Amino acid sequence: MAHAYTPGLKVLQRTTVDKERRLPLKGEVLVEAGKTVAPDDIVARTHLPGNVQMVNIANLLNIDAQDIAEVMLVKIGSKIKEGELLAETKGLFGFFKSSAASPVDSVLESISDVTGQVVLREAPIPVEIDAYMNGKVASVLEEEGVVVTANAVFIQGIFGIGGENRGELRVLVDNRDDELTPEMITVDVKGAVIVGGSFISLEAYKKAISVGAAAVVAGGFNYHDLEDVLGYTLGVAITGSEDLGTSLILTEGYGRIPMGNRSFKLLQQHNGKFTSVNGATQIRAGVIRPEIVIPLTANDSMGSGSDKDTVSGISAGSLVRVIRAPYFGDIGTVVSLPSELQQMESETMVRVAEVEIGGESLVIPRANLEMVETT
């Protein structure tokens, strides 16, 4: 029987999670290998170069560019306060002087007698990387960061927004089919990762933001409401940098879809535990999935080995989810897996699957599909 191997969402009861915490450029690592860390612990620090300010001294003082050196009051490398004079003309008999002041606190980086401009560099911007989750420093990346490891529950979603957050896990519904309503979201969930069932509405998500929830996890959300939340139409699904305060992770897709049974039971089982989440999503080459990480204690880890991270196989009859436009998030059943290559609108030749979605039979590239958990 024809089949295809395609990745599905990981829902692992117990696995080893390794998170690389790397600085954007070289800096200082603050912890040693073997150290136990908490999510808010700073593990590495660096400074980004400050912003550049250009000041056209020649224009401000109405002089030729080649004369700029004669009017400068500060030297290259000097620290300058906002409002401090950079240059001044001699004037006429000591009167009618013209001057130019620094618009910011900065360091004088260069002087040009060609353009008549000076370059001011603002103070370096500090960047700190935290540990993200409870765990242990497995290894140190010299001058760059660390790898934090933990035995944990690991659950991936299909789509998310809002980047990294963490807090106490709070399951607010009794059943994976239940909607997370605004009435369920009260002020006492501030700082918590709250979990619903099949759906969260725009109104409920805005309520979660207003009360300061760390994150919301639910089966589905209306695609068209994302524009209201983000302020723009989401094209290619690359997210994670949104400044929302409350991350949103969808485990199933767009619309009202009951959360996967295994995912919901795991979240119920670990209700009340400290949880780290990341809503960052990339649906293209180098796929990034939103994730829920619940580090386990020594007692939690006893009793059985880790789940294996395996690759799922699809075949006729498999329940699958579409992971790329134009049917992103839709769920259907595989009717057949034709062995021959077929030409797409882009004129590329690819292997496809015939999938029934909402009573309609569609031909979709196999690379655009993933398995859906059914138990």
Neighbours of 325 (CB within 10 A): 12
Tell which wins on pLDDT, 182 or 338: 182
Query: What is the rounded average pLDDT of the residues 305-326?
Result: 70
Can you list the pairs that 57-61 forms with residues at least 24 positions away whose Cβ atoms lie under 8 Å? 57/86, 57/87, 57/100, 57/116, 57/117, 57/118, 58/115, 58/116, 58/117, 59/116, 60/87, 60/98, 60/100, 61/87, 61/88, 61/89, 61/98, 61/99, 61/100
Q: State pLDDT tens for residues 101-160.
A: 999 999 999 999 999 999 999 999 999 999 999 999 999 999 999 999 999 999 999 899
- pLDDT reported for residue 312: 52
Q: State pLDDT tens for residues 192-209.
A: 999 999 999 999 999 999
Q: Is the pTM of this model over 0.85?
A: no
> Which domains, from first to last, does the chain contain?
7-21+147-301 (3.50.30), 52-121 (2.40.50), 313-371 (2.30.30.30)
Residue 22 has pLDDT above 90, yes or no: yes
